[in-house]
């Protein structure tokens, strides 16, 4: 497996405990993606020593491929459901059962606790033998920050100064009936020999050299049949995070004093952490969604941890990818917005406010954000990025989404001038043909800024006009309402006149050249958002369904939908069926696979009444490629190649978070926080148990009998005035807290009960 659950804090850095027992991808050292390099500490490891009552000794690292010269464990079985990894160790000579649970603090709707800079490692040691044993565990850690060593209360590396590596790293042990020892040395071999030989690591010494390694041990006795837990907490506190030519620092430095403080407070919260994680995992897994979808949803949150950063002033920022140095790019803003809205809405609000604060005088929204203003931080050195067809549009949709799902009237009032200005800019770019002209978008490999009209931009534009109409009505601006309505009608007419082929919407149309009937998968992304936000259809439903059928027929591959078909004459036949890759053949961009397009297709097909099984099967092509073929569940790439589904570009990409639209489509969930109305229109066949998500709470909707439903809040607090599930309806005023249930029955079910 090529990735694992990231351990650490939201915006505070992470490290991965991989399936072979190694600790990889150390991003806790202020080594930001894109601008910094990944840190790999191969000498970091866990070890175990068992001394049986008979005198027999077993000692091994808990890695299948440890550093040269050290013993390896025979086998490790790995499983991961964010934020937890479980490693189960086995070896013919290992006399006890050893499980390791590695996790970090994750609390939906609590971004501060979720930002804790710590990784937690809890070992469960079970003695199933008939004799007592003495067990010892070792955590060996390189001194990467080159600090001095303090051993009071546990192992701590401390480096003074104001550099990115200045600060502290601490390891603390927690457990009942354990004895703990710490030590440091100039090489890891000496620490290992002392541990494996049953000697104290405190006596290894530095021999006049710098402390390049530190270690902590925990020892305990186990009676026959006894199980005990031992926890290592690794905490870090490196407050001087750099960013470009500034040092904005780390947000966690406002929450903690040093690494020791982090470790102590994590130890105090362990029981609450376990309770919160069980609650989260039960909600994500105790439902009727297929296992592959459960697995993908619960683990997709990892991307937020891998690429996010939070500065000392509290501002949340996110790299586009490990391989792309753009920060907060608007063109993927809505793709990633769903889990932010539900689990960390305050961070989502920050992004929208920041886009508004840097809006250009003409009303356009910059391509991306940078602290204190707008800057292109990629290789093109353009001062404000590119003019995009999916910046102003997703900003308008995003503001409406936040208002609709939070009911924050003051937010809408403050954002309305920005929304109005952005919508009017969109209209100004549509003067000639009623749709935005010569604008780039997120599918930038196709140079859409050179095409007059682009369907992807057009559909987003129409969806944003529908959202702008809603907000103009709420803000009581009838003149703007008429303007946006007129723009929508004109744009819809142009869409059908210039971009509709009779079967699907062509990818682009140009006024000066004949446009091919190219088909871009994900063309209808804007309609997906119109469906999620209950805005209506941007054009005739039969056209939308015909377009979706054409995408599968012309762009389908075993790994999901390829980006484009019909654009190149030499590729027209190959686009219908994926051919074995020949290195002597051209590899055009249009045959690449952008998995998000497949995810969007499946969700929208369900929203439009398409076959649920077909929709799920298509989505599972992209998901299975990542989970099963690539074995890279926690590192979704933005683009895959067409010949074997392998990674092509942009690692740890948040575009795939649009996967969260799929449970919305299945349940037909609509949430209006203003009127406190929650409704569901489950797809057929009706799943028995479906999760629901709103910014205020999460829960489960369950069909308990024909026509009878139960809605249960599993975390948070939800005030409702009206709840509707299919044709069952409840009205009243009620505050549902964690564990509360609400029961609904359809009129036919009530009549049946009366007859009985």
pLDDT classification of 179: cutoffs 50, 70, 90: very high
pLDDT at 456 over 80: yes
Round to whole Å and give the CA distance between 44 and 654: 29
Q: Quick check: 134 and 221 in contact, CB under 8 A?
A: yes
Is the pLDDT score of 212 beyond 80? yes
Lowest-confidence pick of 200-209, 578-587, 721-730: 578-587
Question: Would you state the pLDDT for residue 580?
Answer: 41
Contacts of 50-54 with C-beta under 8 Å, sequence gap 24+, read: 50/94, 50/95, 50/96, 50/133, 50/134, 50/135, 50/136, 51/133, 51/134, 51/135, 51/198, 52/95, 52/129, 52/131, 52/133, 53/131, 53/132, 53/133, 54/131
Check pLDDT > 90 for residue 402.
Answer: yes
More confidently predicted of 571 and 655: 655
Q: What is the pLDDT of residue 584?
A: 43
**Residue 119 · residue 111 · CB < 8 Å:** no
pLDDT at 253: 98
Top pLDDT among 383 and 390 is at 390
Model pLDDT, residue 575: 37
User: Domain residue spans in the chain?
Assistant: 6-280, 328-488+505-537, 667-755
Structure confidence by residue, pLDDT tens digits, 543-557: 999 999 999 999 999
| Residue the block writes with tokens 């104001």 | 162
Structure tokens at 482: 């008429």
Where residue 755 falls among pLDDT bands split at 50, 70, 90? very low
Task: Kindly indicate the confidence band of residue 262, based on its pLDDT and cuts at 50, 70 and 90.
Answer: very high
Using an 8 Å Cβ cutoff, are 539 and 604 in contact? no
Q: What is the pLDDT of residue 370?
A: 67
Residues 631-668: tens digit of each pLDDT:
999 999 999 999 999 999 899 999 999 999 999 999 99
Region 500-528: mean pLDDT is 94
pLDDT band at 384 (very low <50, low <70, confident <90, very high): low
Q: Is a pLDDT exceeding 60 seen at residue 379?
A: no
Check if the beta carbon of residue 205 is closer than 8 Å to that of residue 241. no
Reduced to 3 states (helix: H, G, I; strand: E, B; else coil), residue 656 is helix
Class of the CATH domain delimited by 6-280:
mainly beta
What CA–CA distances, in Å, run from 361 to 257, 274, 375, 383, 438? 42, 50, 16, 15, 20
Q: Is the pLDDT of residue 756 over 50?
A: no
Cα R_g (the chain), whole angstroms: 28
How many angstroms separate the CA atoms of 459 and 393, rounded?
Answer: 10
CA distance 303 to 343: 14
Convert the pLDDT of each residue in 39-93 to its tens digit: 999 999 999 999 999 999 999 999 999 999 999 999 999 999 999 999 999 999 9
At 34 the pLDDT is: 63
Instruction: Say which CATH topology domain 328-488+505-537 has.
Output: Glycosyltransferase (1.50.10)
Taking CA 304 as the corner, what is the angle to CA 23 and CA 393, rounded to the nearest 5 degrees? 155
pLDDT of residue 36: 61
Q: Please say if the pLDDT value at position 267 is more than 90.
A: yes
pTM score, two decimals? 0.94
Q: What is the pLDDT of residue 323?
A: 79
Indicate the average pLDDT of the chain.
92
- Residue 468 confidence (pLDDT) above 60: yes
CA-to-CA separations, 347 to 12, 98, 108, 677, in angstroms, rounded: 14, 39, 12, 24
Whether the pLDDT of residue 377 is over 50: the answer is no
Are the C-beta atoms of residues 109 and 693 closer than 8 Å to each other? Answer: no
Using the predicted structure, report yes or no on whether residue 586 has a pLDDT greater than 50. no
């Amino acid at each position: 497996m090529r990735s694992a659950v990231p351990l650490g804090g939201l915006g505070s850095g992470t490290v991965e405990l991989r399936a072979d027992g190694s600790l990889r991808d150390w991003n806790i050292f202020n080594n930001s993606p894109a601008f910094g390099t990944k840190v790999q500490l191969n000498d970091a490891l866990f070890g175990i020593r068992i001394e049986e009552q008979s005198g027999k000794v077993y000692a091994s690292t808990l890695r299948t491929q440890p550093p040269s010269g050290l013993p390896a464990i025979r086998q490790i079985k790995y499983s991961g459901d964010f934020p937890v990894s479980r490693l189960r160790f086995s070896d013919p000579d290992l006399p006890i059962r050893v499980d390791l649970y590695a996790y970090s603090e994750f609390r939906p709707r609590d971004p501060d606790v979720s930002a804790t800079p710590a990784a937690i490692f809890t070992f469960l040691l079970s003695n199933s033998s008939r004799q007592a044993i003495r067990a010892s565990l070792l955590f060996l850690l390189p001194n990467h920050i080159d600090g001095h060593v303090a051993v009071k209360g546990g192992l701590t590396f401390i480096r003074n100064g104001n550099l990115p590596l200045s600060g502290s790293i601490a390891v603390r042990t927690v457990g009942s009936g354990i004895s703990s020892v710490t030590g440091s040395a100039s090489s890891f071999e000496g620490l290992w020999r002392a541990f494996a030989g049953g000697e104290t690591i405190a006596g290894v010494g530095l021999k006049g050299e710098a402390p390049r390694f530190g270690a902590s041990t925990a020892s305990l006795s186990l009676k026959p049949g006894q199980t005990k837990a031992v926890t290592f907490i690794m905490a870090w506190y490196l407050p001087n995070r750099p960013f470009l030519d500034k040092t904005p620092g780390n947000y966690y430095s406002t929450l903690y004093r040093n690494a020791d403080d982090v470790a102590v407070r994590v130890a105090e919260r362990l029981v609450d952490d376990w309770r919160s994680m069980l609650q989260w995992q039960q909600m994500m897994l105790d439902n009727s969604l297929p296992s592959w979808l459960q697995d993908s949803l619960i683990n997709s949150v990892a991307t937020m941890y891998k690429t996010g950063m939070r500065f000392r002033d509290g501002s949340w920022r996110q790299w586009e990818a490990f391989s792309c140095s753009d920060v907060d790019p608007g063109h993927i803003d809505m793709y990633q917005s769903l889990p932010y809205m539900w689990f960390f809405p305050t961070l989502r609000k920050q992004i929208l406010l920041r886009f508004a604060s840097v809006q250009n005088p003409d009303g356009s929204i910059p391509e991306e954000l940078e602290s204190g203003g707008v800057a292109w931080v990629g290789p093109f050195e353009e001062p404000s990025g590119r003019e995009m067809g999916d910046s102003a549009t997703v900003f308008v949709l995003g503001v409406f989404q936040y208002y609709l799902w939070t009911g924050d009237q003051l937010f809408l009032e403050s954002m309305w001038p920005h929304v109005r200005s952005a919508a009017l800019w969109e209209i100004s770019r549509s003067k000639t043909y009623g749709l935005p002209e010569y604008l780039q978008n997120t599918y930038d490999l196709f140079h859409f800024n050179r095409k007059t009209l682009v369907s992807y931009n057009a559909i987003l534009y129409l969806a944003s006009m529908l959202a702008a109409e809603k907000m103009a009505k709420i803000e009581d601006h009838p003149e703007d309402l008429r303007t946006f309505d007129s723009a929508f009608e004109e744009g819809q007419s142009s869409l059908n006149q210039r971009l509709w082929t009779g079967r699907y919407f062509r990818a682009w149309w140009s006024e000066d050249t004949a446009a091919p009937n190219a088909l871009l998968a994900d063309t209808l992304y804007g309609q997906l958002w119109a469906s999620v936000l209950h805005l209506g259809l941007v054009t005739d439903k039969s056209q939308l369904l015909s377009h979706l059928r054409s995408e599968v027929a012309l762009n389908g591959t075993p790994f999901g939908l390829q980006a484009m078909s019909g654009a190149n004459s030499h590729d027209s036949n190959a686009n219908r069926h994926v051919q074995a890759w020949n290195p002597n053949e051209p590899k055009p961009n249009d045959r690449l696979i952008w998995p998000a397009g497949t995810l969007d297709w499946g969700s929208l097909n369900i929203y439009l009444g398409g076959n649920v099984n077909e929709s799920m099967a298509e989505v599972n092509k992209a998901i299975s490629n990542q989970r099963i073929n690539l074995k890279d569940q926690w590192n979704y790439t933005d683009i895959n190649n067409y010949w074997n589904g392998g990674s092509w570009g942009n690692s740890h990409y948040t575009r795939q978070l649009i996967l969260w639209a799929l449970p919305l489509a299945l349940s037909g969930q609509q949430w209006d926080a203003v009127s406190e109305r929650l409704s569901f229109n489950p797809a057929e066949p009706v799943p028995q148990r479906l999760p629901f998500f709103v910014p205020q709470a999460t829960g489960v909707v369950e069909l308990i009998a024909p026509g009878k439903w139960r809605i249960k809040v599993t975390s948070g607090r939800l005030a409702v005035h009206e709840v509707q599930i299919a044709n069952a309806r409840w009205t009243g005023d009620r505050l549902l807290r964690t564990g509360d249930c609400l029961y609904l029955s359809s009129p036919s079910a009530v009549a049946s009960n009366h007859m009985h």
